Every structure is written in C-alpha cells, then in structure tokens.
C-alpha cells in the first residue's frame, strides 16, 4: 500500500485493555518524518489516568493469562510472528517513515524483531523447575517458576519493533501482562504490533500500548503503584538511573539495557578486508544509532593507514536520503537534538587535533541528515572517546601494544558491546577475559542474535534479553518444602 494508505491503516488511539480508545483528556501529539520534519499523523497522548486504567486491565487479566497453558500462550506468539512476517513490507515502510532508517535496515529489523516472538513461543513450553531430596533427608525440595506479574516496558526509538518484541515475547511466554510506553518519536510501529496481537487472539488486558509526550507523568505513578511488579527499559544511562531509583522504592524487578560506547580493536595480524567490512557493519548499522554501534576504533599503528584507506572507500559509498527511497543506504538521524550532539562531538574532536578524513559537514538539505564520517588521530582527551555519539561517525586512534589496546577499550564507564579483529585465537581468548563488556564480537561486526543473551556491564545496564536467559527476567522462583 502507498504511504498515505499505510498511515491511515495504523490505529492512532491508545490500545488499552484490548480496545482502541482516545486519551481520557482527548489530547494528541504529532509523529514526524525525520527526513523532512513534516507531520505524518497525530496519536493519542496518554495521561496518568490512562496508565492507571491500563494497569487495572493488566491486573484483572493477569491470573487468567498466567493460568493459560504455555502451549496456548506460545501459539499466540507464533501466530503474531507469522502475521508480522506476512506484513513485513508494511512494518518496514512504517519504520522508515517514523524513524528514518533506510528500507534495507527496516526490513532487517522486521525479520529480527519478529524472530523474538517465534523464539519465545518455543521457550514458553520449556519453563522448568526441579524436584530433589533435601541433603539432610528431612524432606523434599520442589522449585517452581511463576510469572512476576504486571510489567511496564519502556522502549526506545532506534529499533521500534525489535525493542518491543524482545520484551513482550518473554513476558507473554512467562505468563505476564504488560504495559508498553513506546518512544514518542516512533509510536506507530508498536501500535501496528498491538493491532496484530489482537488479530492473533491475545486476550483483552494482556497488552496495553500507551504513547505519550510526557513520559514521566505516565511512568512515575505506575512505578509507585504496588500492583506493578516489573520494569524493563531500553534507553540512555541517565534515564535508566532515574528509573532504577524510582523502581527501587517499590523493590520492582528491574532490567535495564542502557548506553554503550563500543570499542573496535584491529590488531596487526587481522584480515584487514574483513575488519573493514566488520567496521562498516558495526558502525553504520541503523545509521550508527545503536547501542552496540562501534564508536571508538583502536587500530594497530603498523596497519592503521591501510585500514583507514580501505574504510574510507567503503563508507564513501553510503548514500544519504529519506529512508523510504530505494537508493538510500543512510537515512536521517532521529531529530535535530541528536544531530546537534553528533556535530558537537565531531567539532570537539577536531578542535582537540583530530583530522576529518570523510564527511564531517551538515548537508544543506531538509531533515536531520549527517553524512558517513571518519575522523582520524583522535586524541585521548576528545569527548567522542568518552561519550556515545549515536551517529555515523567512526573515531580512529592508534595503539602499539596489546595492553595499550585493552586499556583503551576499557577506558569508559560503559560495557555493552566490543569488537576484536585478530587471527590469533589465544589473543582473542585473552581479550574476552580482559575487556569489560557483556558482548564481544570476534572477527564479526554484527553480534545481536535472538538465541543469545543481550546485555551489558558497568553503566550499560542490568539483566539480559534474548536467548534462554531472557525469559528468566519475567519469572519468580518459588521454593516449596515438602515433608
């Protein structure tokens, strides 16, 4: 369907307790195309009262959903996966419109995001406990798993579908109900997802989607309500800290997937062509607006110039344009504020002595575009080595020894992803122990996998999503002592 028809097909009310309803005060807010700044549509603007009604519905639906046979819960997830796959083009086009990413990126996200629902449809029937004799012979030990209860998911704008399904999938598989507050920049994708869940037979009240332009006014009261039992958030470290503090007052189960500032290490024995391919994938996936994006490129001085020359050739081929255009490979950034952040970090690095080898200038076109950029010889004091750039900028510096490379990689408060290119297996294993990160890519630039646990250490968050570990975030463990 064409753009106008697609936008008209997406509900713009709140999905509350299984029904589409306007916000209680009738307010709406605009969703804009970052390629032009133009308004795409307006959606209902949820208030604290709407959130309370959604939690009421989740609490009411909770016991019935928890008692639903795991196979039945799994079949609803599987059916939703199939329906998303059937409408993959619609989801991809919608994401490119509201988030800006190029269509090939959006298509990849649809496949990735849908896969979480298929994966957790299979995990629903594998929730297990244990039964054993107490060592002292005084009785039997029975351990069971139960859903934690109503959950609040706060999702970011950079992966509008996948960050929702990565939370919704395990929650529903475990038997939890869920309220989702999507990012105000990109609510439409999750509203379409809610429509698909309803078509797949999800019972009323199990899912509510609450777009809002005043997040704290909605999430604050929810975090104070004792009926809410779980918070899951993906976003910035600063916001994550604030949410964790609020959740701590109610001792909520909390999982936080926060910022990253991934190092990308290239050693002198690396296959440089493979390293460049990995660097481009790790840097320009999602236009650099990814928490796993490689930001700090530390390259052995003996091969640095050759690596940079090859990287320049690859990154120069990326074509800026609206994400929905078929020849676009690099869409706009999400908004003016994010582009300003990228500009500030590049300008700071240049003023500190870095050299711009590619890009580095804001184009004179509508929308929030920034070109693929390479800056070389970035000095240690530059902010871009400490702060997450969240844009298509590769900041390169050299090293001479392995210890120097490890120190540079760990010189950050973040610890989500890291990348290493070397042909030396012993070195790769040493680095896997020495680098402070929850994820390490060895000779590969894309690390996300539905079947693997995703999460970080240090200021990159708490808990894991995906893999067999992901469902544990939504389960409580109960010990039953049998005489």
What's the pLDDT tens digit per position in 264-313? 999 999 999 999 999 999 999 999 999 999 999 999 999 999 999 999 99
State the pLDDT at residue 209. 98
Q: What is the CATH number of the domain that holds 343?
A: 3.40.309.10
Cα gap 136→446, rounded to integer Å = 50
Does 454 map to a domain?
no
pTM of the model: 0.97
Mean pLDDT, the chain, rounded, equals 97
In this structure, is residue 151 part of a structural domain? yes
Residue 92 lies in a domain: yes
CATH number at residue 236: 3.40.605.10
Write out the DSSP string of 381-427: T-GGGTS---SSEEEEEEESSHHHHHHHHT-SS--SEEEEE-S-HHH
Query: In terms of DSSP bridges, do strands 262-266 and 417-421 run parallel, antiparallel, or are they unpaired?
Result: parallel
Residues 29 and 97 in one domain: yes
Residues 230 and 370 in one domain: no
The model's confidence at residue 156, banded by pLDDT at 50, 70 and 90, is: very high
**62 lies in a domain?**
yes
279 and 427 in a single domain? The answer is yes
**Same-domain pairing of 71 and 128:** yes
- Residue pair 475/174 in contact (Cβ under 8 Å)? The answer is yes
One domain for residues 126 and 41: yes
Identify whether residues 360 and 376 lie together within a single domain: yes
Q: Is-contact 455 283, C-beta < 8 A?
A: no
324 and 252 inside one domain: no
Residues 313 and 190 in one domain: no
324 pLDDT band, cuts 50/70/90, is very high
DSSP state of 436: -
Compute the average pLDDT of residues 174-183: 98
Which residues form the catalytic set? 257
Shared-domain flag, residues 135 and 147? yes
Q: Which of 145, 148, 144 is nearest to 229 (CA)?
A: 148
**464 with 419, same domain?**
no
Domain count along the chain: 2
Q: pLDDT tens digit string along 199-258?
A: 999 999 999 999 999 999 999 999 999 999 999 999 999 999 999 999 999 999 999 999
Confidence grade of residue 1 (pLDDT, cut at 50, 70, 90): confident
Domain coverage including residue 302: 262-449
236 and 289 share a domain? no
Helix (H, G, I), strand (E, B) or coil at 16: strand
Residues of the chain with pLDDT > 90, as a percent, come to 99
Asked, for residue 361, whether it belongs to a domain, the answer is yes
pLDDT tens for 394-448 read: 999 999 999 999 999 999 999 999 999 999 999 999 999 999 999 999 999 999 9
């Amino acid at each position: 369907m064409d753009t106008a028809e697609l936008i008209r097909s997406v509900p713009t009310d709140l999905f509350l307790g299984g029904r589409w309803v306007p916000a209680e005060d009738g307010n709406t807010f605009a969703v804009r195309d970052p390629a032009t700044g133009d308004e795409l549509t307006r959606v209902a603007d949820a208030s604290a009262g709407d959130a309370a009604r959604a939690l009421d519905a989740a609490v009411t639906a909770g016991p019935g959903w928890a008692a639903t046979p795991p196979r039945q819960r799994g079949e609803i997830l599987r059916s939703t996966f199939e329906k998303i796959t059937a409408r993959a083009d619609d989801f991809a086009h919608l994401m490119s419109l509201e988030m800006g990413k190029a269509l090939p990126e959006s298509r990849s996200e649809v496949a990735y995001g849908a896969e979480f629902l298929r994966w957790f449809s299979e995990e629903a029937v594998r929730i297990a406990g244990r039964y054993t004799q107490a060592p002292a012979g005084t009785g039997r030990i029975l351990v069971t798993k139960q859903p934690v209860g109503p959950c609040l998911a706060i999702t970011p704008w950079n992966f509008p579908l996948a960050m929702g399904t990565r939370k919704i999938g395990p929650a529903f598989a475990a038997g939890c109900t869920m309220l989702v507050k999507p990012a105000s920049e990109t609510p439409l994708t999750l509203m379409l997802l809610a429509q698909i869940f309803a078509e797949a037979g999800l019972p009323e009240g199990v899912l509510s989607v609450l777009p809002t332009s005043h997040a704290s006014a909605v999430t604050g009261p929810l975090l104070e309500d004792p009926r809410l039992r779980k918070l899951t958030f993906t976003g910035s470290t600063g916001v994550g800290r604030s949410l964790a503090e609020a959740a701590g007052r109610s001792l909520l189960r909390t999982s936080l997937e926060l910022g990253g500032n991934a190092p990308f290490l290239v050693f002198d024995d690396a296959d440089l062509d493979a390293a460049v391919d990995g660097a481009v994938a790790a840097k320009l996936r999602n236009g650099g607006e990814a928490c796993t994006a490689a930001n700090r490129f530390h390259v052995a001085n003996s091969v640095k110039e050759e690596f940079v020359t090859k990287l320049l050739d690859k990154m120069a081929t990326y074509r800026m344009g609206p994400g929905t255009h078929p020849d676009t490979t690099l869409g706009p950034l999400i908004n003016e504020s994010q582009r300003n952040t990228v500009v500030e970090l590049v300008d700071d690095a240049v003023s500190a002595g870095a050299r711009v080898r590619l890009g580095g200038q804001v184009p004179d076109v509508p929308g929030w575009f920034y070109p693929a950029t390479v800056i070389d010889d970035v000095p240690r004091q530059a902010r871009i080595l400490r702060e997450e750039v969240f844009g298509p900028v590769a900041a390169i510096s050299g090293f001479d020894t392995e210890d120097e490379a490890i120190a540079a990689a760990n010189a950050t408060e973040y610890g989500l992803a890291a990348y290493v290119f070397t042909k030396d297996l012993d070195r790769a294993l040493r680095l896997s122990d020495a680098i402070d990160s929850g994820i390490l890519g060895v000779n590969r630039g894309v690390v996300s996998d539905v079947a693997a646990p995703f999460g970080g250490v240090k200021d990159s968050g708490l808990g894991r999503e995906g893999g067999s570990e992901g469902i544990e975030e939504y389960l409580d463990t109960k010990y039953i002592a049998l005489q």
